[in-house]
Amino acid sequence: MTLPKLHYYSATGKAHQIRLALASANIEFEDIHPSGGFPPSEEQKVEWQKLGGNSTTNIPMLVMPNGKVYTQSSAVLRAVGRIGNIMPNSDDGQYLLDKLLGDAEDLRTLAYKSFVSWGAPMEMYEKFVNKVLPLHLGNFERILIEGGGNYFVENDKLTIADVSVYDAVMNYGANRAPIGCLDKFTTLKKWIERVESNPGIATYLSSDQYANIENKFNIGT
């Protein structure tokens, strides 16, 4: 059986929320990594541009078995949400989804600026884990509580809003911060457990496919 192919580096990065969305929707997929790693070769860039049809490298890029190609990470995430039926059902839900995707991306952007391994001073990392991250965690917890506490947007249903916020909170936040950074955000902690217990996500996070991703963000990175 031909599977959808997700083109990206062997890293969590911008592709991870897409992987989690595919997993939560029980859509099997294949990770396609550039053979030369990062940075990609000029030949690899040309191949991606040919597949994606844009002037950029196009990744993360999802190629479906029928030949349909999705590019731009937020657009790919929404496409997976529609294919897998993990989108909000109401107009108000669509607005909240868009807002939460923006909130999650704000946290990712600030996290990138604090990566010591990418040249950020340790002071920037310390500011991120001590001030920036708690501020964003508190905002997410407030929104979660206002919506009922189970999931973002649809209180009885996981959507791509949960997937994106989970990726931002864990892979760009909690996994880089000292142990205990989530302790005072009790509703958010329970929500994280709820997301991780989703059958598709739980299976993916325990799989060799996830274990074989080489670059996962860790404390200090």
Predicted confidence at residue 221, as pLDDT, reads 39
Q: Cα–Cα distance between 2 and 79 in angstroms, integer?
A: 19
Residue % of the chain over a pLDDT of 90:
86
Tens digits of residue pLDDT in 61-79: 999 999 999 999 999 999 9
Question: Where do the CATH 3.40.30.10 domains begin and end in the chain?
Answer: 5-85+203-211
The predicted pLDDT at position 215 comes to 77
pLDDT at 39: 87
Query: 91-198 adopts what CATH topology?
Result: Glutathione S-transferase Yfyf (Class Pi); Chain A, domain 2 (1.20.1050)
User: In this predicted model, what pLDDT tens digit does every residue of 176-221 receive, in sequence order?
Assistant: 999 999 999 999 999 999 999 999 999 999 999 999 998 765 433 3
Domain with CATH 1.20.1050.10 in the chain: 91-198
The class that CATH gives domain 5-85+203-211 is alpha beta
pLDDT digit string (tens) for 126-169?
Answer: 999 999 999 999 999 999 999 999 999 998 999 999 999 999 99
Report the chain's terminal Cα–Cα distance, integer Å.
38
